[in-house]
């Protein structure tokens, strides 16, 4: 509802964090990009990670994450309540996925666990996927 109010058309909402493989299969048939825009808190970020992993596990890579730039807002509903248009950023989901799981505030042990998690989730993917942006932009060199 908030996306439509601010003229972001064609948004589909999954209530809370309930993105399922059934949702994925329906959207995959439409051959569309899936953009996740969950809450701007730890629970929302973790839900984004789970949704990205679900997509990767089923070989769907046309995915992005839309984040609210202003950290003082939790979600789009808060912008709607204040009738204020949000500043949003869109990032390819794999870039978001790696950055979040390997973020600086995690200790080395947790980063190592998450690195293995990333490898496990991308291992089944075809090495011949077409990337919309260069691979080197996903990683800090």
Q: Where are the beta strands (DSSP E) in 33-87?
A: 34-36, 63-68
The answer to whether 76 touches 68, Cβ cutoff 8 Å, is yes
pLDDT band at 141 (very low <50, low <70, confident <90, very high): very low
pLDDT band at 121 (very low <50, low <70, confident <90, very high): very high
81-102: average pLDDT: 90
Question: Tell me, what's the pLDDT at 37?
Answer: 86
Question: Tell me, what's the pLDDT at 46?
Answer: 92
pLDDT band at 13 (very low <50, low <70, confident <90, very high): low
Q: Reply yes or no on whether the pLDDT at 136 is more than 60.
A: no
Q: Where are the beta strands (DSSP E) in the chain?
A: 34-36, 63-68, 88-92
Confidence (pTM)? 0.80
10-34: average pLDDT: 80
110-119: average pLDDT: 96
Residue 111: burial class (beta carbons within 10 Å; 0-12, 13-18, 19+): middle
pLDDT band at 113 (very low <50, low <70, confident <90, very high): very high
Report the C-alpha gap between 130 and 90 in whole angstroms. 19
Q: Reply yes or no on whether the pLDDT at 128 is more than 80.
A: no
């Amino acid at each position: 509802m908030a996306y439509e109010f601010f003229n972001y058309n064609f948004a589909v909402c999954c209530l809370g964090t309930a993105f399922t493989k059934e949702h994925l299969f329906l959207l995959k048939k439409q051959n569309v990009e899936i953009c996740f825009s969950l809450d701007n808190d730890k629970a929302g970020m973790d839900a984004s990670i789970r949704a990205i992993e679900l997509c990767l596990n089923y070989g769907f890579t046309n995915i992005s994450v839309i984040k609210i730039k202003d950290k003082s807002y939790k979600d789009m509903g808060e912008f709607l309540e204040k009738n204020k248009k949000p500043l949003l950023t869109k990032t390819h989901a794999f870039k978001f996925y790696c950055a979040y799981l390997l973020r600086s505030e995690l200790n080395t042990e947790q980063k190592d666990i998450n690195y293995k998690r990333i490898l496990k989730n991308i291992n089944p993917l075809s090495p011949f996927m077409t990337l919309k942006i260069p691979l080197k932009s996903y990683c800090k060199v």
